[in-house]
């Protein structure tokens, strides 16, 4: 007796289509809007709480997005919100102001870099004896500083032409150093003076107390180099000129 084939397909319950009543559609729409507003409000509150700043003492930091600053060398503490303003807004405004101040100070007081439109300390050092318009903040810093000494650029006559020199003088009128920055002296003769730092260092400690510095003679003598008398006298004349210029300032 033959057997019929068994139907192994899974049984699926028929889907019953249910139509929603059209009577409460406006009510459901209102409820959806209310829940949406509640969700948006909750999200807004969470975000505001995340970014809000409680009143009190804050560490104000300088931003670096527009260039380097000196902000990492200082710590600025400020009591935000004490004035009655929003602590977050006050902290934000102060951070912007502090960033600008730190960036300006970084550029003004830098001794190795120059910046367009800014007269920095490096530019002042690179342009001695020139009239420069200095930022008021930098000028006030100079006014409040006690001078440690002076650096005078002078030009003297050597045996073969001009000798350009930088002479350091302390506040007591004594030489702290001599450096020749340009010359045309004869190699192995005049260069034994202008290009030998050990010879130039013989001026260190000398002053005008004993009168003008002279070469190989007098009470205030500089021991020059044999065979390079004119070069020795040229450098000595430059040092005398620098000492006279500093003396005229006091």
For 93-106, what is the mean pLDDT? 88
For residue 147, give both structure tokens. 């001078």
What are the pLDDT digits (tens) for 158-167? 999 999 999 9
Amino acid 92: pLDDT: 86
The pTM of this model reads 0.49
d(CA 216, CA 213): 10
Amino acid 1: pLDDT: 45
Amino acid 6: pLDDT: 57
Least Cα distance to 55 among 19, 94, 96, 90 occurs for: 90
| pLDDT band of 64, cuts 50, 70, 90 | confident
**28 has pLDDT over 70:** no
What's the Cα-to-Cα distance from 131 to each of 105, 124, 134, 243, rounded to whole Å?
21, 9, 9, 21
What are the pLDDT digits (tens) for 65-91? 888 888 888 888 888 888 888 888 888
DSSP 201-223: GGGTT--STTSS-EESSSSSEE-
Over the range 213-248, which residues count as b (16 or more CB within 10 Å of their CB) and which as e?
bbbeeeebebebbeebebbbbbbbbbbbbbbeebee
Return the residue matching tokens 């420069």. 132
Residue 5's CB is within 10 A of a number of other CB atoms, namely 5
Amino acid 4: pLDDT: 52
d(CA 112, CA 190): 32
Can you name the residues that pair with 227 across neighbouring β-strands? Answer: none
**234 has pLDDT over 50:** yes
| pLDDT band of 32, cuts 50, 70, 90 | low
DSSP 112-154: S--BTTB--HHHHHHSTT------HHHHHHHHHSPP-EEEEEE
Q: How far apart are the first and last CA of the chain?
A: 136
Amino acid 214: pLDDT: 92
Residue with the larger pLDDT of the pair 56 and 27: 56
């Amino acid at each position: 007796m033959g057997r019929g084939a068994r139907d192994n397909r899974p049984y699926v319950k028929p889907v019953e289509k249910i139509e929603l009543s059209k009577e409460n559609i406006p009510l459901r729409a209102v409820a959806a809007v209310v829940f949406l507003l509640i969700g948006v409000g909750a999200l807004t509150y969470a975000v505001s709480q995340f970014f809000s700043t409680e009143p009190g003492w804050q560490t104000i930091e300088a931003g670096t997005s527009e260039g380097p600053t000196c902000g990492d060398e200082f710590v600025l503490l400020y009591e935000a919100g004490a004035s009655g303003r929003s602590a977050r807004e006050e902290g934000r405004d102060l951070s912007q102001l502090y960033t600008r101040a730190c960036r300006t100070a970084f550029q003004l007081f830098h001794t190795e870099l120059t910046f367009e439109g800014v007269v920095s300390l490096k530019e002042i050092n690179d342009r001695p004896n020139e009239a420069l318009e200095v930022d008021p903040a930098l000028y006030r810093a100079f006014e409040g500083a006690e001078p440690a000494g002076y650096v005078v650029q002078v030009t003297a006559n050597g045996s073969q032409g001009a000798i350009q020199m930088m002479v350091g003088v302390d506040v007591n009128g004594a030489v702290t150093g001599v450096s020749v920055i340009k010359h045309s002296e004869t190699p192995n003769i005049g260069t034994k003076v202008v290009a030998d730092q050990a010879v130039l260092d013989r001026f260190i400690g000398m002053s005008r107390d004993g009168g003008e510095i002279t070469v190989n003679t007098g009470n205030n003598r500089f021991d020059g180099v044999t065979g390079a008398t004119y070069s020795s006298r040229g450098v000595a004349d430059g040092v005398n000129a620098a000492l006279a210029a500093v003396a005229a300032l006091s």
